[in-house]
Every structure is written in C-alpha cells, then in structure tokens.
C-alpha cells in the first residue's frame, strides 16, 4: 500500500490542533478571564485555573502583601455584594478594602484595579472614595498620578452619582495650565477636562448644562470644546453652534438640525 507523501508530517500538526481545541474547551468551561496568563505562568496555581478550592478574594488580598499580581487579580473580583446576593456587612467590608487599596496600596496596578472596581458599584460611598482618590497625590511619578486621577474620573462617569456632578463641574471649568507648564502637565489637564466634560453630558441637569455652556464660551482648546459640543447635544437633545464666536453672544441658541443625505436627495422629512 502506497503511503501518501507528507501524511506523517501532518499527524503532529493535527494532534496540536486537537490539543489546542481541548485546551480551549477546558478554558471556556472554567472561564477565560486571566486563565491563559495563569496557565502560562511559572508560578501557576491550579486553584485559579480550575476554580476548585480557589481562595476568597479578601483572603488573597490579606495573605499576599508582596504579590501585587495576586492582589490586583483579587481586587478585580470584588463585585458589589448588594447587587450579587450579599448583605450589608459584606458591602461594608468590600468598600473598606477597596478604599484602602485605592488610596494606600504601594503598587499603581492595584490602585488602578481598585478604582475601576469601585466604578462598577452603585453605593454612594464608592463615589465619595473615588472623589477622594482624584484629589490625592499618590506617587512621586507624575505619570502614575495622572493615570490614577483620570481613571477616578472615568469611574465617576460610569457611576453617574448625582452628588459627583459638583467635582465634575469643577474639573470641567478649571482654567488651562500656565504657559510655562510642561507638555505632560498640559496634556494631563486636558485629558481630565475632557473626561469630566464627557461625564456632564450624561446628567440631565441645569447645573451641568451651564458648565458646558461655560466651556463653550471660555475654552480655547479644540479638544474640550468638541467634547462639550457633543455633551450638550447628549444632555439637551439639541444641536448647538460650534463656533466660539457664537458663544460670546448673550442670545446663543440651538441651530436647526441639518437634513441627512437621504433627506436632501428625496425631500423626505421624519
């Protein structure tokens, strides 16, 4: 019987595909989040891969003071108890751990993870923690400080806590950096303003609309102005003039909405 050429070389390849398929099916069963990293790690722990006898996140945070990866992994798993079948005592414990991690953990990764986790909570106390995080000086490294402050604003945007609008308005209305400021400082200020302005568009609130008006009238940078224009449309449901000169008039008003291409061609209106 004649053996087909190349068949022997194909068998290992098919076996590899089969093994990869089995591995993929296994990981899909136990959950793919962070599983590949754990599987490929030299310090892999099968409890984290299979989920069997996996320690509670609070235990991991408590028992791994020198392992930032494990702490960050555990912080990401602290889902809000009151939204997931827990009780008020669990809620208090989780918030205390997240507050400590977001403001005191020595590693930026853990602080960022705690901040992002807090942004998924709906407890007003989580919003107060995030406001505190934004106003803190965390590290000597300005890049890490900037990243944490910006993520705190992004988390507040996701929460849409009514009382957080005061901080967001203050950030949106803040003046630009001085002329002698470094490029990184100028970029940080602009990034924070854009996040705050974007967040204000989600509040159907007169104070927030007035803050957006202020930005359109006084802001010189094109990035924050463009974002304010989008936020105004989102908040009011109306189109507003983009030209800065139009906002210097006291009678600034919405502009008519332009017809789209189909409406212009067919003359239809809806």
Confidence of residue 15 (pLDDT cuts 50, 70, 90): low
Domain-embedded: residue 105: yes
Instruction: Evaluate whether 67 touches 28 at the Cβ level (below 8 Å).
Output: no
pLDDT at res. 242: 93
Question: Which are the contacts of 211, defined by CB distance < 8 A and separation ≥ 6?
Answer: 168, 169, 172, 173, 200
Q: Is the pLDDT of residue 36 over 80?
A: no
Among 29-38, 102-111, 130-139, 206-215, the minimum mean pLDDT is found in 29-38
% of residues, the chain, pLDDT over 90: 61
Mean pLDDT across the chain = 83
Residue-level pLDDT at 250? 87
Q: Does residue 40 carry a pLDDT above 70?
A: no
Percent of the chain with pLDDT over 70: 76
Rounded CA separation 141/105 (Å) = 15
In a domain, 253, yes or no: no
User: Is residue 91, in this structure, part of any structural domain at all?
Assistant: yes
Note whether residue 59 is domain-resident: yes
Residue keyed to tokens 């602080």: 111
Q: How confident is the model at residue 84 (pLDDT cuts 50, 70, 90)?
A: very high
In a domain, 224, yes or no: no
For position 139, what pLDDT does the model report?
A: 83
Task: Tell me if 184 sits within 8 A of 149, measured CB to CB.
Answer: no
56 vs 227: which has the higher pLDDT:
227
**7 class by beta-carbon count within 10 Å (0-12 exposed, 13-18 middle, 19+ buried):** exposed
In a domain, 74, yes or no: yes
Residues ≥6 apart with Cβ < 8 Å to 76: 113, 116, 117
Query: What distance in Å separates the CA atoms of residue 18 and residue 26, rounded to the nearest whole number?
Result: 12
Indicate whether 143 belongs to any domain: yes
Query: Total structural domains in the chain?
Result: 1
Using a cut of 0.85, tell me whether the model's pTM lies above it: no
Q: Which position has the higher pLDDT, 119 or 253?
A: 119
Name the pLDDT band for 48 (thresholds 50, 70, 90): low
Owning domain of residue 136: 41-159
pLDDT of residue 45: 57
Residue 81: inside a domain: yes
């Amino acid at each position: 019987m004649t053996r087909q050429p190349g068949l022997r070389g194909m068998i290992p390849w098919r076996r590899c595909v089969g093994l990869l398929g089995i591995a993929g099916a296994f990981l899909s069963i136990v959950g793919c989040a962070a599983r590949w990293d754990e599987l490929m790690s030299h310090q892999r722990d099968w409890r984290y891969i299979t989920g069997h006898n996996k320690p509670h996140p609070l235990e991991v945070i408590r028992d791994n003071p020198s392992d930032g990866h494990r702490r960050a992994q555990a912080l990401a798993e602290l889902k809000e108890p009151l939204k997931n079948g827990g009780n008020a005592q669990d809620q208090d414990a989780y918030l205390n751990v997240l507050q400590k991690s977001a403001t005191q953990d020595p590693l930026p990764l853990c602080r960022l993870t705690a901040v992002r986790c807090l942004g998924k909570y709906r407890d007003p106390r989580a919003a107060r923690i995030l406001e505190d995080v934004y106003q803190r000086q965390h590290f000597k490294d300005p890049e890490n400080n900037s990243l944490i402050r910006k993520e705190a604003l992004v988390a507040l945007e996701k929460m849409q806590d009514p009382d957080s609008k005061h901080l967001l308005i203050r950030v949106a209305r803040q003046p630009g950096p001085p002329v002698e400021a470094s490029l990184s400082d100028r970029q940080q200020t602009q990034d924070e303003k854009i996040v705050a302005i974007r967040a204000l568009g989600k509040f159907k609130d007169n104070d927030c609309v007035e803050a957006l008006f202020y930005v359109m009238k006084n802001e010189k940078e094109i990035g924050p102005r463009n974002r304010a224009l989008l936020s105004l449309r989102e908040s009011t449901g109306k189109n507003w003039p983009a030209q800065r000169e139009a906002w210097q008039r006291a009678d600034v008003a919405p502009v008519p909405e332009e017809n789209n291409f189909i409406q212009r061609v067919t003359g239809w209106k809806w």
